[in-house]
Amino acid sequence: MRMKPVHFFALEVVDRDELNNPIYEPVPIGSYKGILTQWSLEEIAVMDREVLETHQKLLTDAPRSVLERAERVEIEGVSYAITDLKKDFRRWRLCHVKADEP
């Protein structure tokens, strides 16, 4: 399994518009190794089809504290939203990500 550079971003308020609504910008919070993995047969049998079509699994060595702060992740130039932190293994963390709409 070949890990690739994965960049994590938090969304922080950088300004406010004329209606006093916050304007968010992604701010880098760390770069780690990771890989997008395939769904297992058990997951396919249990999970909703819509989730399987729109989400992917990310296996990364990023610390849990980074994953809890991060809202976005960039892998090979593609931006994803982090939707759920699933498992915390000793060395790796598994989370679900959803690709941005083109």
pLDDT in tens, 40-84: 777 777 776 666 667 889 999 999 999 999 999 999 999 999 998
Q: pLDDT category, 100, cuts 50, 70, 90?
A: confident
- Name residue, tokens 């849990």: 64
Q: 3-state DSSP call for residue 46?
A: helix
Average pLDDT of every residue of the chain? 88
